[in-house]
Structure 1
Amino acid sequence: MAATRFWTYQDMHFPFSATRETLEALPDFQIRDDDIVVVSYPKAGSNWLMVIICKLLRAAGRTEEPVDTLLSGPMELTLKMAEQPGYVTLAARSSPRIFKTHLPIRFAPRGVSKPQNKVKVLVMMRNPKDSAVSYYHFSNKLCPLLGLGEPPAWEEFARAFVGGQIQYGDFCDHVLGWWQMRDDLHFLFLKYEDMKKDLPGSVQTIATFLDITLDGAAIAAIAEESTFDRMKQDFSRSQWPTKRIIPRKGIAGDWKNMLSPDESKAFDSWCERKLCGTGLNFEFE
C-alpha cells in the first residue's frame, strides 16, 4: 500500500525519490548566510508558509522573482519532471534562496540543523490528526499521477501513520527533533492552527523574524493575498502537476470528518505517550 511505499536508510523511512546518494550528500550541503529554510513534516502547511515568505521578500525589494519561480519542492527529492535532485538545482540558484525540507533533523544539512550567522529556519507544525488526513488525500492524488498504483484505504493509512510506518517516519519523533531547537534564535516555530486564527498577525511575526519592515497596510495586503483560496487559485496555474494537487481544504479540524472514535483515541494515546512533558502541544479544534 502507498503508506508503506518507502525505503529505509539509517532506520528512517524515505520516499524512493530521496535517493541514498542524495541523503549522503545533504549533511555537507553548503548553506548560505542569507538562506531561508522552511522545515516541516509533510502536509503541515509548508507551501503556505513559503508563499508568505516569497511575498514578503518581494514586497521588501529583496527579490524580483515571481512567487512560482521561488517555490520549490523538498530539497531531498528528485521530482518526476525534474532532471536532477532538488539540492543540485538549489546549489545553482541565485540568492536569496528560499527552500524547504521534510527531513528529520539528524538528516538535514548541518547548516540547517545547527545554523550559523544570519541563516533563518522556520519550522511549520500542524496537529497530527489533520496532518494525517491531509497526507492521505494528497497520497490519493499523487499515486495515480506518478503511476504508483492503488492508494491505501484510510484505515490502513491511519494505522501506518500512528505506527510510524510511513515516509519520513513517526510524526511525533520528527517534530520533537526540531522542537529541541526552540530556544535557538535562528529558528521560528509556527503552528498551522495559529496562522488560521490570525493570518495578519502571523505574517507580521514572520516579517519581523526575517528582518523585514513593512507598514500595516502592506502586511494586511500580503495576508489577503496569502489566504487559502488565493493560494489554491495560484497553485492551479502552476507549471508543475504535483504542485497543482497540493491545496485541498485548508482548514483546521477536518480530521473529524475522517477519524472514527477509535482512531481518534489511538491518535490521542500516541500523542500523549510521545509528547507529554515536552512543552509541545497541538490544538485539534
Structure 2
Amino acid sequence: MANHRKKFIDLVDKAIAVGDTMDHEDLLFSYNGILYPTTVCSPEIVKALESFEARQEDVILAGYPKTSTNWVGQILTDLVTTSAENNEDETNSLNDEELEEFPYLEVGDAEKYQQMEKLSSRRVIFTHLLPHNLPESILKNKAKILVLVRNPKDIATSFYHFTNGMSPLPSYETWDEFFTAFMTGKMPWGSYFDYICEWSKHVDDENVMTITYEELKENQTLGLKKIADFFGFSLSEEEIQTVVEKSGFKAMKEKSSKTHGTFGKIIFCKGTVGDWQDHFSEAQSKEMDRKFEECLAGTKLGEKMKYELYCKA
C-alpha cells in the first residue's frame, strides 16, 4: 500500500511545503467562479479536464470536501481490487503502476490525463467537482458515479479544522470567520449548498447512486454491499467482511502515515457524527437550517440525509 501511495504522498508533502511559503491571498485561484487550491490544482489542469474521456467502466466517487472521500475512496479501491482478483478478464486487472496514479481527477498536472488513457479498466476516480464542472464525457458515457453526501454541520466543522491544519489552504482566526466563508460559498471547490443542490437533480439517474456518510458509519457492511451491487462487483460475504475490516475508520487511521503521509494525521481525525454541536451558536444553527430547507426541502436527497436526526440538537 505504501508503494501504491507514493505519488499521492509526494504530491501532498510538496503542497504542504510550498503552502508554508505562500501568502494567504495566493493560496486559492478562481476558475469559472470556483475557488481551487493553487498548490494541487491549476487553471491548466482544470481547462485540460474538459476534454477528459471517461469510460463506462470507470468507478467514480463524487463528494464535497470533508464528506470523507479518502475513506470511501479506499473502500472503493479495495472493492475493485478484490473483484479484479476474482476475474480473469485482463481488462479488469490492476497493477502497482495503475494504483499509484493519484486518483483525484482535478488534482495534479495536465499530463496525468495522457497517463490515465493508458490505464486498463476499471479506473477508480475521485472528484470534488460540481456536476456541471465535470467533463461532459462522464455523464454522456454513463460512467457509474457514487455520490457521497454528509450533513452540512459536520462538514463545516471538519472543514474548519482541516483548513486550519493544512498550509496549502487559507486558515481562519475564528470559527465565526470560517462560518461566514462557508455559508457564502467562498471555499475551495465552491459552495457546499450549490454542490448538494446540483447532485440532488441527478438522484434518479440510472448511473448515479447516493450514499450518506452517516449510514456508512452506522452499518458499514450493509453500505459496502449496496456499493458492490451498484458497481456490479462479484464478492462473497467473506470478501465483503475483509474489506470492511481493512477499511474501518480505526484501521485506516492507524495506517494513515503509510497511506497518506503527513496528510493522514489531518484527514483521519475524529470521524464522529455530531461534532458540530461544540462549534455552532444557536443563531448559526438556525441559519444553516434555513439554508438546507431552501435547497433540499421535499427532495429525495434531502430526505435521505435525515437532517432532522443529525442536524437538530
Same fold (TM over 0.5): yes
Specify the SS of the correspondent of 1:25. helix
CA distance in 1, matches of 2:228, 2:184: 37
Partner residue, 1:128: 152
Alignment partners' CA distance in 2, 1:251 and 1:137: 13
Q: Which moved more, 1:172-181 or 1:107-116?
A: 107-116
| Match among 283, 288, 299 for residue 262 of structure 1 | 283
**1:245–1:132 CA distance, 2 compared to 1 (3 A):** same
Q: Is the 8 A contact 1:71 1:99 kept in 2?
A: no
The 1-side partners of 2:165 and 2:25 are apart by: 13
Q: Does 1:98 align with 2:124?
A: yes
Task: List 4+ stretches of structure 1 deviating above 6 A.
Answer: 1-4
Cα deviation, residue 166, structure 1: 1.3
1:9-62 superposed Cα distances (whole Å, 9 cap, x missing partner): 222233224322222221220112321111111110211111111111222214
Q: Identify the match of residue 271 of structure 1 among 281, 292, 297.
A: 292
TM-fit CA distance, 1:5: 5.2
- 8 Å CA contact 1:13–1:166 kept in 2: the answer is yes
Asked if 2 retains the 8 angstrom alpha-carbon contact of 1:73 and 1:86, the reply is no
Which shows bigger deviation, 43-52 or 241-250?
Answer: 241-250
| Residues 1:110 and 2:110 aligned together | no
Partner SS, residue 54 of structure 2: coil
CA-CA distance at 1:240 after TM superposition: 4.1
**CA offsets, 1:180-199, max 9 Å, x none?**
12111111111001111110
1:184 aligns to 2:205 (yes or no)? yes
Cα distance in 2 for residues equivalent to 1:207 and 1:67? 24
Report the TM-score, using the length of structure 1 for normalisation: 0.86
Deviation per residue, 1:175-233 (Å, 9 max, x gap): 22122121111111110011111100001001111111222222122112211001112
Change (3 A) 1:68 1:95: closer
Counterparts of 1:197 and 1:3 in 2: how far apart (Å)? Answer: 40
User: Partners in 1 of 2:68 and 2:96 — Cα distance?
Assistant: 20
**Preserved CA contact (<8 Å) 1:18 1:77:** yes
CA distance in 1 between partners of 2:165 and 2:103 (Å): 16
SS in 2 for 1:221: helix
CA distance in structure 2 between the partners assigned to 1:237 and 1:140 by the alignment: 23
Alpha-carbon distance in 1 for matches of 2:190, 2:181? 10
**Paired residue type of 2:141:** P
Instruction: Describe the SS at the equivalent of 2:30.
Output: strand
The answer as to whether partners of 1:126 and 1:191 remain within 8 angstroms in 2 is yes
Shift of 1:260: 1.9
Q: Secondary structure at the match of 2:166?
A: helix
Please say if 1:77 is aligned against 2:107: yes
Give the percent of matched residue pairs that are identical in Structure 1 and Structure 2. Answer: 29
Find the aligned partners of 2:156 and 2:172 in 1 and give their Cα distance: 14
Q: Match of 1:45?
A: 68
Equivalent of residue 56 in structure 2, options 33, 36, 47: 33
231-240 or 266-275, larger mean C-alpha shift? 231-240
Structure 2 Cα separation of the partners of residues 134 and 195 of structure 1: 17
- After superposition, residues 158-237 of structure 1 pair within 5 angstroms as 158-237=179-258
TM-score by length of 2: 0.79
- What's the secondary structure of 1:280's corresponding residue? helix
- Give structure 2 stretches of 5+ with no counterpart: 1-22, 86-91
More helix by share: 2
Distance 1:196 1:3 in 2: 36
Give the superposed CA RMSD: 2.7
How far did 1:4 drift?
10
Q: CA deviation at 1:88?
A: 5.2
Query: Structure 1: how far apart are the matches of 2:81 and 2:283?
Result: 47
Structure 1 residues without counterparts, runs of 5 or longer: none
The offset of 1:103, in angstroms, is 0.8
Closer/same/farther in 2, CA of residues 270 and 166 from structure 1, 3 Å limit = same
Post-superposition offset of 1:153: 2.2
Q: 1:136 to 1:239 in 2, by over 3 A?
A: closer
Between 35-44 and 260-269, report the one with greater CA deviation.
Answer: 260-269
Partner Cα distance (2:100, 2:225) in 1: 20
Distance 2:99 2:255 in 1: 12
